[in-house]
Amino acid sequence: MKLALAATTSSIQVLPETAYRSNLPEAKAFSPDPADTPYFALALHLETPIWSNDALLKEQDRVTVYTTQEVLDRI
């Protein structure tokens, strides 16, 4: 378990808000929850999906959102 956690966390990179700030207006326009706007902005910046079990996040079509089950189905 520790090895799996180490392998997973070793690839995590923390980005400052300045990295995705230019994507915030676009994300704000479609984010179903204002609290999730930064996550959508970062997903737009990185051109990557979001992993979340929050069904509300799927109520937009700009960023793909995968549930845990959908992630498991892909591995």
Alpha-carbon distance of 60 to 58, in angstroms, equals 5
Residue type, 5: L
Return the bridge partners of 51, or none.
66
Q: Indicate the pTM of the whole model.
A: 0.83
Pairwise CA distance, residues 52 & 54, whole Å: 5
Residue 4 has pLDDT above 80, yes or no: no
Q: What is the pLDDT of residue 75?
A: 85
Q: Give the pLDDT score at 3.
A: 67
9-61 pLDDT, tens digit each: 777 888 999 999 999 999 999 999 999 999 999 999 999 999 999 999 999 99
Place of tokens 């109520």: 59
Q: 65 φ, ψ to 5°?
A: -120, 125
